[in-house]
Amino acid sequence: MSEDHALFIKKIAEKYGRDPTRLMDILLEVNARYGWFSEETIGHISEAMGIPRVKVRDKISFYTFFSRKPVGKTVIRLSYSVVEKMKGAELIARAFEDAVGIKFGETTPDGLITLTYAQCIGMSDQAPSALINHTPVGNLLPEDVADIVEAVKKGEDISQLPQALTDVNLRRSGPVVFAPMDAGTALRSALKMTPEQVIEEIKKSKLRGRGGAGFPTGKKWEACRNVKSDFRYIVCNADEGEPGTFKDRVIMSERADLVFEGMTIAGYAIGAEYGIVYLRGEYEYMLEDLKRILEERRKKGLLGQNILGKKSFNFAIRIQIGAGAYICGEESALIESLEGKRGAPRERPPFPVEKGYMNRPTAVNNVETLCAAARIMEQGADWFSTIGTEASAGTKLLSVSGDCSRPGVYEIEYGITVGRFLKMVGAEHAIAAKIGGPSGRLVAPTDFDRTISFEDFSTGGSVIFFGPGRDLLTHMKQFTEFFVEESCGWCTPCRVGTTLMLKEFDKIIEGRATKTEVENIKKLGQTIKTMSRCGLGQTAPNPILTSMQNFPELYEAVIKPDDYIGSFDFAKAVEAGARIAGRKPHDEEEANA
Ligand SMILES: Cc1cc2nc3c(=O)[nH]c(=O)nc-3n(C[C@H](O)[C@H](O)[C@H](O)COP(=O)(O)O)c2cc1C
Ligand code: SF4
């Protein structure tokens, strides 16, 4: 058995040329076979790859899809984000526990089923949802669960269940990403230009990155092209993992051809011969379709050697599957992960355009950005720059979820007001909108006349609506818990600061925080934002800080005066001891506290 085990791993290692940068693929294949990593398995991997065990352990421990203890043949990952909870995920969790006969975090004694929670599987539009091994199921009702579990026990094909994802939920197509496409048209236009002219055209279009930071794409490509190097790379960031975001899921299922076309054009522009798509592990169910599209493109001469007859223009694309780590969406963490390591963000500078994948100049672009770049080649920069606003050219895909009657993906023109948008999606009664997902801001109805654009409310794509009766403070706490969970732990302000902020925020929610303590949370939040190494820490305080800024009344209703006797601030209590002992309570409730 052990020999088979060693041989199996050796063969996989050989398949990837024992290349340590392909460790992720090797672990994924070993995981697919055994479901978990015993010390013996780690030893075999270490031996087959010629790398220390500690490196293998380190990588495994970073990703939620990898386990160090046995898991069931079927792993049911229930999506447990804020939106999922709003839509009843807790009831679904109890229904699974009843049907399977174990608690979440456990495996059945016969080794058949493991129940576990996932942060977000990219299906908030169809919440409550779950991944059953690699098959997504959505719009779950508690009464569906027994049948699903029965099907799992009988070994039936889960993708045939009525709850299996069938709906892409594209609610509104715009002229850029979801307009009809003909594979090769954009690339043919690009190849009529020189690479420098392609970059000029992209600059002229005013295209800015759609992954969140909004960096001008033409400038990024130019910087990458201008670094002297023997190799350059294009990386397509398809790792969307922020709860409430699923637009890239819809792009990859409906417009993968356009994404690959955009990557090929980017390759031509910057002088790269190799592109990698980093696809989040939760979307592995798309892999076979994506590989088929790549193969068709090769057959049509749109990938490979001397593409479309252009001498010496060669470009190949491979897909790297992730293994469940939100931080790997951050471009330098993604590159680390691609190189076979943990997904910890790098110190910057140098930026990826100077030293990226394999220390070579690398342009990392979001899926949607690459689609827009391809469309610009097809329709021209002038056409593109007239869509949207002055500083925000083009369209934006928004993933809409929460309290609205038409959740899904919308391609809108930049500049639309929040108010108009919420009518479009059926969220007229919203009391708040979280624009930009957990890391974005909580917007109050008084700001619903403002616009979605880089110059006003900028967003990577997620918009979550909250209707009347929602407990906003509890939801802000849950968003913060997400960041605590997903912090890679490298820097203290993020690792310790977010945990501290969460603890302090509990005091507010429980109605035992004083005014000064609330001010201190604000200061702590600002410190985390300015002192953290990467965008995760720099935005993690946003749920709490923006709710304080835009919903002060929620806080005024629960905070206590500074000499509140129920506050657990021990140091302050000692300092104020005598004064507290002698004062009159504020009300009866406090007197009883
Ligand atoms: C914590 C974190 C997660 C991120 N996740 C994503 C992601 O899922 N997809 C993405 O394109 N960009 C993501 N980004 C932004 C990337 O670092 C990077 O800016 C982007 O991929 C660049 O592409 P663009 O210029 O086309 O926007 C994330 C950033 C941070 C800090
Ligand atoms: S800010 Fe957070 S996620 Fe980013 S490097 Fe620091 S600890 Fe890691």
pLDDT in tens, 561-593: 777 655 445 455 445 443 433 333 333 333 333
The percentage of residues in the chain with a pLDDT greater than 90, rounded to a whole number, is 90
Hunting for tokens 């820097």 — which residue is that?
491
> CA 228: distance to chain centroid?
32
Exposure string (b/e) for 511-522, b if CB count within 10 Å is 16 or more? ebbbebbbeebb
Q: What is the DSSP secondary structure assignment for residue 124, as one 8-state letter?
A: G
pLDDT at residue 552, rounded to an integer: 95
| Rounded Cα gap, residues 460 and 435, in angstroms | 9
Q: What is the mean pLDDT of the chain?
A: 93
Task: Tell me if 532 sits within 8 A of 495, measured CB to CB.
Answer: no
**All residues at 6 or more sequence positions from 492 whose CB lies less than 8 Å from its CB, including other chains:** none
Query: At 403, which amino acid appears?
Result: D
What is the mean pLDDT of the segment spanning 374-403? 98
User: Does ligand 2 lie within 6 Å of residue 534's CB atom?
Assistant: yes
pLDDT at residue 202, rounded to an integer: 98
Tell me the best of 62, 242, 326, 327 to mutate to test the pocket of ligand 2, counting ligand atoms within 8 Å of each CB and taking the most. 327
Name the closest-CA residue to atom 1, ligand 1: 536
User: Does ligand 2 lie within 6 Å of residue 42's CB atom?
Assistant: no
Model pLDDT for residues 500-558, shown as the tens digit of each residue: 999 999 999 998 889 899 999 999 999 999 999 999 999 999 999 999 999 999 998 88
3-state secondary structure of 27: helix
* Residue of 367 and 1 predicted with greater confidence: 367
Model pLDDT for residues 257-299, shown as the tens digit of each residue: 999 999 999 999 999 999 999 999 999 999 999 999 999 999 9
Quickly state the pLDDT bin for 229 (edges 50, 70, 90): very high
**All residues at 6 or more sequence positions from 186 whose CB lies less than 8 Å from its CB, including other chains:** 258, 261, 262, 265, 374, 375, 377, 378
Ligand 1 surroundings by CB, under 6 angstroms: 209-213, 215, 237, 239-241, 327, 329-331, 364-366, 369, 534-536
Name the closest-CA residue to atom 14, ligand 1: 330
pLDDT at residue 162, rounded to an integer: 87
